[in-house]
């Protein structure tokens, strides 16, 4: 029967992993690249919001108050969702990696508890607000669009909602499984 | 900046092998994934190197980052079983004999059956770190670590014997 000392010597005698060529330079390059991508993502998000506002003004939605509020509601729910996701990514990236493992685990549990709150409270509210905004717009679509296009919009919206709902449900299940694992460590 | 880069280069050279080894232990011997996680560890080391305060040794600091990064990877660890053939490719040592790799497989398998915290503790013990340092990395008292290590050692040797039979 192997003793622990045998296992330890087996462990220490395993072949050394090869050092990648120019590994440290690659890491430094990767960090610079990550920062650049972060800047681009922020830019894309800002431009998207500006385009949405521009579109809002272009179709003169503000002249029809019901249309204005419905559109505003839909755009606002999307923006809030994007901001929450960006905030979550920032939260997990800002975790101090050099803290001890016990504290780190606690912080990670806090993070996933925060995510649970987003998933179970905020997301359903946002989805309901989005659906409400869409329903308010439907009579206006019906009055101004062809029957075919109107049907297309209704059907594609239902399909998108089902796909999005399934995706969110999967994500929630995955994150809650991780939370369970972390709590039982 | 140039000084920091050369310090990082030195830190990278001297710590890369042990970080990969630790990650492999954490990830059931998956060499490719261990290299990816090790790269992630050094990305974090580079990002925070300026804030390293020398309150602990650089090696302890890197071990903390490594253990926490591996912990983050339970997010997508699918408990992939890695065969000895794949690992033999990973370790890039064609002269190594099959039975040695088989024994390592068993060890990885048994480590993988432990809880995440126990896995970290025993991997640091296998690396030969003093128990006080392990306690510091894990954020558990020295006394509790000593008892825990004793228990995991028994668990691990029993598991290896069981796999042997």
A37-91 per-position pLDDT tens digit: 878 877 887 887 788 778 777 766 667 788 888 888 888 888 898 888 888 888 8
| High-pLDDT (> 90) share of chain A, % | 13
Of A124-128, A140-144, B126-130, the one with minimum mean pLDDT is A140-144
ipTM of this complex > 0.95? no
Residue B116 clears pLDDT 60, i.e. is over it: yes
Chain B partners within 8 Å of A97 (Cβ): 44, 48, 64-65, 68-69
Contact indicator for B145, B138 with CB cutoff of 8 Å: yes
Q: Is the dihedral of CA B130, B131, B132, B138 positive or negative?
A: positive
Chain A partners within 8 Å of B150 (Cβ): none
On whether any CB of chain B is under 8 Å from the CB of A19, the answer is: yes
- Cβ-defined contact of B126 to A7 (cutoff 8 Å): yes
On whether any CB of chain B is under 8 Å from the CB of A21, the answer is: no
pLDDT category, B95, cuts 50, 70, 90?
very low
Give the three-class secondary structure for A2. Answer: coil
Block residue for tokens 């926490």: B68
- Closest Cα in chain B to A108: B72
pLDDT of residue A167: 86
pLDDT category, B1, cuts 50, 70, 90?
confident
Chain A partners within 8 Å of B93 (Cβ): 15
Q: Dump pLDDT digits (tens) for B6-42.
A: 889 999 999 999 999 999 888 888 888 899 999 999 9
Contact indicator for A132, A73 with CB cutoff of 8 Å: yes
State the Cα–Cα distance between residues B46 and B44, nearest whole angstrom: 5
Least Cα distance to B15 among B41, B34, B33 occurs for B41
State both tokens at B22.
Answer: 């630790």
On whether any CB of chain B is under 8 Å from the CB of A16, the answer is: yes
Q: Which residue in the set B43, B69, B90 is minimally distant from A27, CB to CB?
A: B43
- How many Cα atoms sit within 13 Å of B9 on the Cβ side? 9
């Amino acid at each position: 029967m192997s003793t622990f000392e045998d296992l330890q010597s087996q462990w220490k005698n395993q072949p050394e992993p090869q050092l990648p060529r120019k590994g440290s330079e690659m890491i430094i390059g990767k960090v610079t690249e990550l920062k650049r991508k972060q800047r681009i993502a922020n830019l894309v998000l800002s431009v998207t919001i500006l385009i949405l506002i521009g579109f809002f003004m272009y179709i003169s939605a503000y002249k029809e108050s019901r249309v204005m509020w419905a559109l505003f509601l839909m755009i606002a729910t999307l923006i809030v969702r994007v901001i929450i996701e960006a905030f979550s990514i920032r939260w997990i990236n800002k975790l101090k990696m050099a803290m001890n493992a016990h504290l780190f685990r606690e912080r990670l549990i806090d993070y996933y508890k925060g995510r649970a709150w987003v998933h179970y409270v905020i997301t359903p509210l946002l989805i309901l607000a989005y659906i409400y905004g869409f329903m308010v717009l439907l009579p206006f679509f019906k009055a101004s669009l062809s029957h075919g296009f109107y049907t297309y919009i209704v059907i594609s919206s239902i399909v998108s909602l089902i796909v999005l709902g399934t995706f969110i449900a999967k994500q929630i299940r995955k994150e809650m499984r991780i939370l369970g694992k972390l709590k039982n460590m | 900046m140039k000084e920091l880069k050369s310090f990082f280069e030195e830190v990278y050279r001297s710590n890369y092998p042990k970080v990969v080894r630790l990650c492999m232990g954490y990830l059931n011997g998956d060499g490719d994934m261990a290299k990816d996680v090790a790269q992630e560890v050094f990305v974090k080391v580079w990002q925070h190197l300026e804030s390293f305060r020398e309150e602990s040794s650089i090696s302890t600091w890197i071990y903390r980052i490594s253990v926490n990064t591996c912990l983050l990877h339970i997010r997508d660890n699918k408990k992939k079983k890695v065969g000895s053939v794949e690992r033999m490719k990973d370790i890039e040592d064609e002269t190594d004999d099959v039975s040695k790799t088989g024994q390592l497989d068993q060890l990885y398998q048994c480590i993988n059956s432990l809880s995440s915290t126990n896995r970290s503790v025993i991997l640091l013990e296998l690396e030969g770190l003093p128990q006080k340092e392990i306690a510091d990395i894990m954020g558990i008292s020295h006394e509790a670590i000593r008892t825990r290590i004793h228990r995991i050692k028994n668990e691990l040797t029993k598991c290896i014997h069981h796999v042997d039979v």
